[in-house]
Amino acid sequence: MKNISQILVIEDEPANREAIALLLGNAGYQVKTAESGENALELLKKNAFEVILTDLCLPGVSGIDILKKVKEDSPYTNVILITGKGSAESAVEAMKEGAFDYITKPLHFEKLQVLIAKALEKSRLVAENLYLRQQLRGKYRFDNMIGTSLPMQQVFSRMEKILNTDSTILILGESGTGKELVAKAIHFNGHRREKPFVAINCGAIPAELLESELFGHVRGSFTGAVADKIGKFEQANQGTIFLDEIATMPLHLQTKLLRVLQEQELERVGSTKKIKLNVRVISATNANLEEEIEQGRFRNDLYYRLNVIPVHLPALRERREDIALLARHFLQKICEEMNRPIMSISPTAMRFLESYHWPGNVRELENVIERTVTLTDGIVIEKKDLPANITGSAAEEEEEPALTCPALTDAGVDLPQVVADLERQLIRSALELSAGVKARAADLLSIKRTTLVEKIKRLGIEE
């Protein structure tokens, strides 16, 4: 109880107020008191309280008035009301206005302690849930999705347009391209962000169990069904359900899924009771669904129901200009997670990364960076630190080419162009070695940072 926020006790009878404050203080709580509703409102302007204990019948500003004000300004603060009358009407009104609970005089301190402990636990859980939601929203902001290439800009543009619609979305792309990341970004940036996001991998669950996982079941509906179970669709009600690897779903379940999408209601396995739903459906696959339809493995009508808005994620080899950005992003993230100094990637090593075909896409790149950071002792990742399958397949086998000057002949040379080319190559190498940190790159070149910035602009160097 040592580190909790203060509890506010509002009671107009001095003896009762002092007794409650003394007992709560002796129990280890930090307590502030107010003798009136007006005094309490002044304290609420300057202090944050996890729990407020207030008499219902106060002269002037009443306990109900306090409750309404608290719920308006600080909805996560819990209010416990005290009354000497204990009428059913006042209890109903208090609970309707959002009171945590209601206790009558004379107070039983043991019961009051239990109520306060429960109220504090609820406050902490709500605060933790709010924090986690804020973290999720931050994690899945669009600016945390890496990519400046044209294919990724097209993806971002489409995502922006569909955020606040309820249209069904089909995300297409190879394994490892980030389909679930896109689904979460759409959900946590859209108008359903405060509601559940529920993901299920249709290919990871045996066909005989998938129906129950999706739609739930009632007790006794099959062997082993010892209790009612809520399915993923019900868990996602008012929010979003993400159906990954949708192409692996058996045909008989595709039929039931189609009916759920059309009717926005479902029946649990073994039940005839219809349950109404309001769920946004986002599905994903790395399969060619049109080919699956031709082979009779996927329903044509379900495909058109799911494919209202398609989002195609490009393979990493289709956006090679993003590889360096992604590599540096993962490098910084993994170094921070491992409590290591931020490392850099040498220009030669980066060329090998950019030349590799990446069959596992972004997921494979992240895994390679993590493995390389773990096994590399220095602070610069060189070609020798990369896995053999990457360095063996790259187009360039030689080390970083040395800077050379053209031989001067009777034909002469374009000296300004030669100097510009040499500057450009040196600046690019410095930026690579410094992981894009301009101040560090300027130190490597023995120039001021402002001079480096001016040269980058003048020479048209892409950062």
DSSP-derived secondary structure letter, 360: T
Q: Do the domain assignments include residue 77?
A: yes
27-41, 345-359, 394-408: segment of lowest average pLDDT:
394-408
Rounded distance between C-alpha atoms, residue 130 and residue 76, angstroms: 10
Cβ neighbours of residue 358 under 8 Å, at least 6 residues apart?
315, 316, 317, 323, 364, 365
Q: What is the DSSP string of 311-326?
A: EEPPPGGG-GGGHHHH
The answer, yes or no, to whether residue 292 has pLDDT greater than 90, is yes
**Domain stop point among 102, 135, 168:** 135
302 and 157 in a common domain: yes
Cα–Cα distance list, 450 to 421, 435, 437, 443, 455 (Å): 20, 18, 13, 12, 9
Q: Do the domain assignments include residue 390?
A: yes
Cα–Cα distance list, 72 to 56, 91, 100, 278 (Å): 18, 20, 15, 28
Rounded distance between C-alpha atoms, residue 452 and residue 463, angstroms: 12
pLDDT of residue 143: 52
Report which of 173, 387, 191 is spatially closest to residue 280, judged by C-alpha positions: 191
pLDDT of residue 398: 44
How many CA within 13 A on the CB side of residue 307? Answer: 15
> In percent, how much of the chain has pLDDT > 90?
42
232 and 339 in a common domain: no
Rounded distance between C-alpha atoms, residue 89 and residue 85, angstroms: 10
Sheet with 78-83: strands ordered across: 31-34, 6-10, 49-55, 78-83, 101-104
Domain count, the chain: 4
190-195's contacts with Cβ under 8 Å and 24+ in sequence apart are: 190/163, 190/164, 191/163, 191/164, 192/238, 192/239, 192/240, 192/280, 193/133, 193/137, 194/133, 195/238, 195/239, 195/240
* Residue 433 CB neighbours (<10 A): 17
Q: Residue 180 — very low, low, confident or very high, per pLDDT cuts 50/70/90?
A: very high
Q: Identify any residues that bridge with 6 across adjacent strands, giving them in sequence order.
A: 49
* Residue 249, burial from CB neighbour count under 10 angstroms (0-12, 13-18, 19+): buried
Q: Which two tokens stand for residue 289?
A: 């669904």
Q: Do the domain assignments include residue 387?
A: yes
234 and 173 in a common domain: yes
Say which residue, 454 or 89, is predicted with more confidence: 454
Q: Do the domain assignments include residue 1?
A: no
345 and 285 in a common domain: no
159 and 123 in a common domain: no
Single-letter amino acid, residue 241: I
DSSP-derived secondary structure letter, 383: G
Q: Identify any residues that bridge with 49 across adjacent strands, giving them in sequence order.
A: 6
- CATH code of the domain containing 378: 1.10.8.60
182 and 275 in a common domain: yes
Residues 169 and 162 sit within 8 Å (Cβ to Cβ): yes
111-128 confidence digits (pLDDT tens): 888 888 888 888 777 766
Rounded distance between C-alpha atoms, residue 259 and residue 240, angstroms: 18
- CATH code of the domain containing 218: 3.40.50.300
Residues 284 and 179 sit within 8 Å (Cβ to Cβ): yes
288 and 160 in a common domain: yes
Q: Do the domain assignments include residue 382?
A: yes
* Residue 417 CB neighbours (<10 A): 10
318-331 confidence digits (pLDDT tens): 998 889 889 998 99
**Domain stop point among 84, 109, 135:** 135
Report which of 251, 241, 217 is spatially closest to residue 231, judged by C-alpha positions: 217
Its domain, for residue 453, covers 402-463
- CATH code of the domain containing 48: 3.40.50.2300
Q: Do the domain assignments include residue 186?
A: yes
234 and 301 in a common domain: yes
What mean pLDDT value characterizes the chain? 85
DSSP run (H or E) holding 103: strand 101-104
Q: Which two tokens stand for residue 117?
A: 């402990």
160 and 303 in a common domain: yes
- CATH code of the domain containing 427: 1.10.10.60
**Residues composing the chain:** 463
286 and 253 in a common domain: yes
Residues 270 and 226 sit within 8 Å (Cβ to Cβ): no
Rounded distance between C-alpha atoms, residue 177 and residue 6, angstroms: 48
Judged by DSSP in three states, 452 sits in: helix
The answer, yes or no, to whether residue 20 has pLDDT greater than 60, is yes
Judged by DSSP in three states, 84 sits in: coil
394-445 confidence digits (pLDDT tens): 444 444 455 566 666 666 767 777 788 788 888 888 887 776 778 878 888 8
* Residue 322 CB neighbours (<10 A): 21
Residue matched to tokens 């409590």: 339
The answer, yes or no, to whether residue 295 has pLDDT greater than 60, is yes
pLDDT of residue 291: 95
Rounded distance between C-alpha atoms, residue 287 and residue 442, angstroms: 48
Tell me what the mean pLDDT of segment 228-256 comes to. Answer: 95
Rounded distance between C-alpha atoms, residue 371 and residue 403, angstroms: 32
pLDDT of residue 45: 83
**Domain stop point among 87, 113, 135:** 135
* Residue 37, burial from CB neighbour count under 10 angstroms (0-12, 13-18, 19+): buried
DSSP run (H or E) holding 81: strand 78-83
DSSP-derived secondary structure letter, 216: -
Q: Do the domain assignments include residue 25?
A: yes
163 and 126 in a common domain: no
201 and 153 in a common domain: yes
E strands of 123-239, at which residues?
A: 169-172, 197-201
